[in-house]
Chains A and B, each alone.
Chain A
Amino acid sequence: MKRILQHPAPNETGRQYWRSVGELSDTPEFRGWLEREFPAGAAELGGDETSRRSFLKLMGASMALAGFGLSSCRKPEMHLVPFTKSAEWVIPGKFLYYATAMPRRYGAMPLVVATVDGRPIKIEGNPNHPESNGASDAFAQASVLDLYDPSRSQRFVRQNKLSDRATFEKYLAELRPKMAANGGAGLAFLVEETWSPTRDRLRTELQKQFPKMRWCVYDPLLSEAQHFSTEMSFGQNVRAIPQFDKADVVFALDSDFLNCGEGDLAAVRGFTSRRRVREAKDSMNRLYVVENHYTLTGAMADHRLRFSASQISTITHALALKIAAGTKDPGLSSVLITLKAPEKAEKFDERWLDEAAADLLSKPGASLVVAGPQQPVVVQLMVYAMNVALRNVGTTLLVREMPKTARAISILQLASEIDAGRIQQLFIFGGDPVYNAPRSVALDRTTRRQLDWADLQKRVPDVVRLGQYEDATSALSQWHVPSAHYLESWSDGLTNGGSHVAMQPMILPLFGGLSEIDLLQMVGGQPAPKGPELVQETFRLTNPPGDFDTAWTKFLHDGFATHIPATNRPAKFNGNTAGGVAHTLWNIPPAPTKESPEIVLVPSYAMDDGRYINNGWLQEMPDPITKLTWDNAALMSPAYAHHVGVKDGDLVRITVSEPPPPEVKPRPGQPPTPTPPPRPQVQHELVIAALVMPGHADNSVTVSLGYGRKHTGPVGEDAGFNGYLLRTSSNTHFIVADGRVVGSVTVKKVGTKYPLSITQEHYSIEGRGLVREATLDHYRADEDFVKKIAGDEELPAQLPSLYTHPPLTAPEQWGMTVDLNTCTGCSACVIACQAENNIPIVGKLQVGHGRSMHWIRIDRYYASAKPYNQDHNEWPENPEIVHEPMMCQHCENAPCETVCPVNATIHSESGLNVMVYNRCIGTRYCANNCPFKVRRFNFFDYTQRPVGKEKIGGFSVYQEYLGPFTEKGAPDTMKLQKNPNVTVRMRGVMEKCTYCVQRIEEALIAAHVRAGASDKTLIPRDSFTSACAQACPAEAIVFGDIADPETRVSKVKAENRNYRLLEYLNVKTRTSYLARIRNPNPKMPDARNIGVASPAEEKA
């Protein structure tokens, strides 16, 4: 009997999951993506520049040339090259792990780096450090690629001419007397925040030589407001550390605390630990989010309110009033007493806030209010006061003592010093101020013209730049000095929570770079240190117990110092100080309107502040929310896009103008003073592609920073638009026409289109019950709800299979689970997989053609009760988001295996669907037959030949289409990064997730080696995991042996939220998913729209 597969009808639950605006409106383009295994055009040879015919011509020519090249049929002689002297611990081909840390904006991230034959190849979190617990994030994972980036600066440059280190040292020696003149009054340093105690110590020592020198810390995304507010509220040298694992109710005000790119993995882990519902009786936290654009945090929210970022003060004030009324807390009242509710503020649903406030009030000591660090001081103060009022300080919000650091000046102060001509020698460490310093950073004293950093830097006679790239800042410096990567240098750091971590080099500087510590020492007149002396000296000052050498070795081995305890300060809120400050700074701009929207500048999930611009992995990582690669865009709500008249990819011109200068009226009776020359009205302008984003606040446009940085290398040269062009010192986070510093903000359609490579419609699988979710109440009422979606319960117990399958006889059977309830979509797994498995990048054009190679993709589904209304062009205003990581499911009845004509994909005894690259002839039948669309094909020789745009003779050509006419072979440094345990695939080969088979085999071999002459060959339980699971800060991915019921993965699979995708196809996937549970507050006005299978929904 023929069984005709009928997919269960979608929308059985009356709720729609959709991945893009195109899908919701069912555009022809989307149908194309849906119906093919690879997108249209993916299989075609031709690109924009090369047709099939011209390719054949090229090929003919190259074949003719190849005839001359048959130089040798002999076996090539290869050499084995041992060390001359043995190196400690080194066994050829074996991984060695060293603890280190990565300097980050809010504190170092503790890491463990795998090195093989002296080269670091893979980065993991430090499993022994409580703040990392073995997890890492996409930036840490990708930083190893930066180390090997061949476009990193490799030379000393003097006035844009090649120089060398000896000349630089001579120059420094000559400069020293000049610096010492007048106590160092002309000397200034512009540095990024690295939290290095050694750097701080060297700075203090330098200050003894040059007492009047200036030290400026600038990082475009480092928030002064939060630091300042914390000190105002709780005293000097403290940091507020939220404890999300203790909070039952979290209220986030424009706070993206789940963005692990900010480096706070403990927050991600803490928060998600309270969302892991093992059984129905478990409790779960609740998250309220108020934000203007969808963030990772917003995607996890139980209740989310779209609200303009510039109006967060309004809603914070309203919330604080409600909390104050509920708690009668004197500290909070003293902050609020002088603040008047703004008049022209944005309106919101009072009931929404009432119920949220009631929820917070019902959990004193177990609630938490957090605000994004970019929000103004008043918001921060109110948030701290609210937490004090809710008795959260000491429980869910710790006030941690941080080591005392010397004060630094801001870039504005430095700019005015330069403007005044007081700075003679300027040292710039890292950063790229020409690119990312605020525009109009100073006012020229004579011409009254606004100055950008580039103008200022030209006025300093001696500028020395220590930089990773010879970028725009270097071009305006007298000296460019190549900087060493953090994996190449000795240093130390403080983590987010204040613990002392070590940084040690994994490799000598590849390109002869200097570290900040080296250069500081050289400025002080000492030779650059050869080893860890300076860091050791700092460590000695912490008084390690016992023998110093032992303590130092332990410090390096563990990666962190255990003898310095973290101390928390008792909760004492300076209500009076905070109240005074709040009163002075209270100033809410008017609500943005259609005609005058707000522009919100946010960090990019891929580029951070622009420092990863030349990192191909991060460029190609789809943004977790927009799924945009290789670019940023102006995000706007469907309604606002309709107002501007743009669709995805239409260019818009954003113009921010100053208010017209006030006219100086001469006082009556006095002679008119000579008027200063008329100052031109300053306009900042940015032309950027628009992208429609459901769930975005109306009258608000979000631009992520970090793109559009030039002169850093071929990878990021054309990527995106520079949001810094709009950023001034008074508008660091949002720009709104307040009539005071900003006269008007306009967003106008330009009329041309810009190609955006968005992966959200690629590899679509429509309406198959892939994502399953419910509310907590529904789950408690019906524990097995997951089985009742998509018709799985109608499945006969055991369907017969037509094909024979190898017996699953191995003692270990591999399987995986992905918890949709804890997955934040941060994409650390995507990059971890890329680093582990030698996955190439394919370039923007190829991503646009749907040929990206990622083995894990994270599907982002919007969910909404009300579908798109095509007649009225009405969009779901506030859809929810569910992330679903999707990789090879390792089906036991794998559809791909049965169609391969050459047996290139087969099944192993341990349940892996293995891919044999050497057998693969590239028919792509397997990809065609894969119901999950997880197979990836090497359309080009990505690892051997260059990809991307290149200017050849005045024409812009995509190099991948030039085939044999491009240079073969990857740059040497890029070869060094490759994982030697994974085959580098060539053109014409299919590939996909292997469950990290190299790690499985490594563990298996290790178990057999340990067994030796015995039969104890089992792999120890949970002794290793896959790269994605290891990187995940939320522990959403669990990998292991499902034959052993005691492993973590077996226990997770036994939970009742567990479900397998497309169960009715009888493919028997090895990867399973845990359903998403939302925890809406039933009293909230929007509660009935939240969670797919909620009973209220069904009734409606």
Chain B
Amino acid sequence: MANFFPRWTNWLPLKITICGIVLISAVCGATWYYDTPKYTRVGYQPVQPVPFPHDLHVTQLGMDCRYCHNAVELAAHSNVPDTQVCMNCHTQVQKENPKLQPVRDSWTTGQPVPWVQIHRTPDYVYYNHSAHVNRGISCYSCHGDVNHMPVVYHAKPHSMAWCLECHRAPENFLRPEDQITNLDWKPDDVEPAAFVAKYGEPAGVKDDWSQKKHLTQREIGLTLKQRWNIQPPTNCQGCHR
């Protein structure tokens, strides 16, 4: 009987298997990397109708986040400011700046400025700003150093796993209530003696932290977590309804 299969075919199954494994791994790896919010979201920087420079307004002029995003402490949504808020100053300052033309147009016509949305949670996620900023989570934790961004971009992935990182260990992110909108805050800025005097120490800590030179984020976080009874939900109902 003739030999149908030439000799080289002996290796064929192994080659196919190896190639298959490589291919599948590549597809999986590529999907893993390119399909996650880390790739699809982080760095998203759309062109806005008005190139509003956050760095100029916040860092140079010293404006607080809440001057424009005034509902952040009250509501689930942190609002984008009304044209009126822009015009509070820009009827006086930069009156002729051509970059501000869309804002002035909006003011005269009554048509809103169509800001492009950068941070977007899916419809089944019920994120609430007020629950976070009133309880020791800074804007920085989710939005990055917006105060140094000439044009805002998506700084953190905002995936569910990323949310849970904090919900499982909030001590890594909590900060004193008066530093929420201070995006340049560092744990080193905290004066240990004053901090301990104000918030005490977590139960079970034997050392005297007020004598320390610096407090770590974890130490600050654990203190505040216990002091404020921070128990972030890790159950579905916390965010999905």
A residues within 8 Å of B by Cβ? Answer: 75, 77-86, 91-94, 806, 906, 908-910, 912, 914, 916-918, 981-984, 994, 997-998, 1000-1001, 1005, 1008-1009, 1011-1015, 1017
Q: Is B177 within 8 A of A1012, CB to CB? A: yes
B117 within 8 A of A: yes
A84 touches which of B82, B117, B237 (Cβ 8 Å)? B82
Q: Is A1013 within 8 A of B76, CB to CB? A: no
Q: Is B79 within 8 A of A91, CB to CB? A: yes
Which residue of A is nearest B44, CB measured?
A75
10 contacts between A and B (CB under 8 A): A75-B44, A78-B120, A82-B83, A82-B113, A91-B74, A91-B79, A93-B77, A910-B237, A983-B240, A1015-B229
Which A residues are in CB contact (< 8 Å) with B79? 82, 91-92
Q: Is B128 within 8 A of A91, CB to CB? A: no
Instruction: For the complex of A and B, list the 6 residue pairs with the smallest distance between their C-beta atoms, beginning with the closest.
Output: A1015-B229, A1013-B177, A93-B77, A84-B83, A79-B114, A78-B117
Q: Is B82 within 8 A of A94, CB to CB? A: no
B209 within 8 A of A: no
Q: Is A1015 within 8 A of B83, CB to CB? A: no
Which A residues are in CB contact (< 8 Å) with B117? 77-80
Which A residues are in CB contact (< 8 Å) with B115? 79-82
Q: Is B241 within 8 A of A998, CB to CB? A: yes
Which B residues are in CB contact (< 8 Å) with A77? 46, 116-117
Contact with A along B180-200 (1 / 0, CB 8 A): 000000000000000000000
Contact with A along B114-152 (1 / 0, CB 8 A): 111100100110101011001110000000000000000
A213 → chain B, closest Cβ, in Å? 43
Q: Is A908 within 8 A of B236, CB to CB? A: yes
Which residue of A is nearest B238, CB measured?
A1001
A-B contact count (CB 8 A): 130
Q: Is A1015 within 8 A of B228, CB to CB? A: yes
Known: A82-B83, A981-B126. A1013 touches B241 (CB 8 A): no
Contact with A along B73-86 (1 / 0, CB 8 A): 11111011111110
Q: Is A1008 within 8 A of B134, CB to CB? A: yes
Which B residues are in CB contact (< 8 Å) with A1015? 227-229
* Size band of the interface chain B makes with A: 35 or more
Name the interface residues of B22-44: CB closer than 8 Å to any CB of A.
40, 44
Q: Is B84 within 8 A of A85, CB to CB? A: yes
Q: Is A1012 within 8 A of B237, CB to CB? A: no
Known: A85-B84, A94-B74, A1009-B131. A906 touches B236 (CB 8 A): yes
B84 touches which of A86, A906, A908, A909 (Cβ 8 Å)? A86
B111 within 8 A of A: yes
Which B residues are in CB contact (< 8 Å) with A81? 112-115
Main secondary structure of the interface of B (DSSP, over half): loop
Which residue of B is nearest A906, CB measured?
B236
Which residue of A is nearest B234, CB measured?
A909
Q: Is A92 within 8 A of B75, CB to CB? A: yes
Which A residues are in CB contact (< 8 Å) with B131? 1005, 1008-1009
Q: Is B241 within 8 A of A1012, CB to CB? A: no
B38 → chain A, closest Cβ, in Å? 15
Most buried by B among A75, A1013, A1014: A1013
Contact with A along B212-241 (1 / 0, CB 8 A): 000000000000000111000001111011
Known: A77-B116, A916-B236, A981-B241. A1011 touches B228 (CB 8 A): yes
Which A residues are in CB contact (< 8 Å) with B173? none
Known: A86-B84, A914-B235, A1008-B131. A75 touches B241 (CB 8 A): no
Q: Is A982 within 8 A of B241, CB to CB? A: yes
Which residue of B is nearest A1016, CB measured?
B229
| Complex Cα spacing A981 to B237, Å | 12
Q: Is A1013 within 8 A of B228, CB to CB? A: yes
Name the interface residues of B56-115: CB closer than 8 Å to any CB of A.
71, 73-77, 79-85, 106-107, 110-115
Most buried by A among B40, B110, B241: B241
Which B residues are in CB contact (< 8 Å) with A1001? 126, 237-238, 241
B221 → chain A, closest Cβ, in Å? 14
Known: A92-B75, A1009-B130, A1013-B177. A84 touches B106 (CB 8 A): yes
A969 → chain B, closest Cβ, in Å? 14
Q: Is B236 within 8 A of A914, CB to CB? A: yes
Which residue of B is nearest A1013, CB measured?
B177
Which B residues are in CB contact (< 8 Å) with A1013? 135-136, 176-177, 228
Q: Is B116 within 8 A of A997, CB to CB? A: no
| Complex Cα spacing A1060 to B84, Å | 57
Q: Is A1014 within 8 A of B237, CB to CB? A: no
Which B residues are in CB contact (< 8 Å) with A75? 40, 44
Which A residues are in CB contact (< 8 Å) with B235? 806, 906, 908-909, 914
Q: Is A912 within 8 A of B237, CB to CB? A: yes
Q: Is B75 within 8 A of A91, CB to CB? A: yes
A85 touches which of B44, B71, B74, B83 (Cβ 8 Å)? B83
A323 → chain B, closest Cβ, in Å? 57
B109 → chain A, closest Cβ, in Å? 8
| Complex Cα spacing A80 to B68, Å | 14
Q: Is A86 within 8 A of B82, CB to CB? A: yes
| Complex Cα spacing A482 to B115, Å | 36
A91 touches which of B44, B71, B111 (Cβ 8 Å)? B71
Most buried by B among A78, A82, A982, A1014: A82
